[in-house]
């Protein structure tokens, strides 16, 4: 990431500084981001900013667009598809090109190191992102045996959950867990049993 983009994302640069955020994946699979005049290899993306409470993020796209893919992927990992859909809603509001201020990417907002560790080389491709995010969610549930703790680890990282032996006392994480569980109950009816 260029220094200018990091400053833009972290400090909220004035509108005159950047006209957008652009990404490009080179031949080695390295993803590059910039906010300066890119060439034709770059495509414009939206920078997603999350909300701070249950139900406050309105879906940006049709909420059923990814249901078949979610169902297949969740089934392959043995987890409820409604949980995967709830995480997608909370993380990206169904925007496959979402990028957080911290650099998380795609529908399930995979951090670059997490994506790399999961073998996800194309984090903005729905299939790859959902597959990687679902596998990570499964790993967190296997590790903690609780959806609340798994979601807390998905949001704050397993180190924080281990340190606090449960959901960390971070307001953002507590609201995140509540929001995802609310969405989970809402989306449960979207998937046949």
**Could you give phi then psi for residue 8, rounded to 5 degrees?**
-60, -50
Confirm if 88 and 136 have CB atoms less than 8 A apart.
no
Active-site residue identified among 69, 79, 91, 176: 91
91 is catalytic: yes
Catalytic residues, by residue number, are: 91
């Amino acid at each position: 990431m260029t220094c200018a983009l990091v400053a833009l994302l972290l400090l909220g640069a004035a509108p005159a500084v950047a006209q957008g955020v652009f990404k490009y994946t080179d031949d080695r699979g390295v993803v590059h981001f910039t906010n300066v005049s890119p060439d034709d290899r770059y495509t414009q993306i939206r920078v997603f900013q999350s909300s701070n409470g249950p139900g406050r993020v309105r879906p940006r796209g049709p909420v059923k667009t990814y249901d078949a893919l979610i169902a297949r992927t969740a089934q392959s990992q043995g987890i409820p598809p409604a949980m995967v859909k709830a995480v997608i809603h909370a993380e990206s509001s169904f925007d496959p090109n979402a990028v957080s201020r911290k650099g998380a990417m795609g529908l399930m907002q995979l951090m670059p190191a997490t994506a790399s560790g999961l073998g996800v080389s194309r984090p903005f491709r729905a299939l790859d992102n959902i597959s990687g995010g679902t596998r990570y969610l499964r790993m967190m549930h296997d590790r903690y045996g609780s959806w609340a703790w798994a979601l807390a680890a998905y949001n704050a990282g397993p180190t924080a959950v281990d340190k606090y032996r449960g959901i960390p006392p971070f307001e953002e994480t507590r609201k995140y867990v509540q929001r995802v569980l609310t969405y989970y109950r809402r989306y449960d009816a979207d998937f046949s049993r």
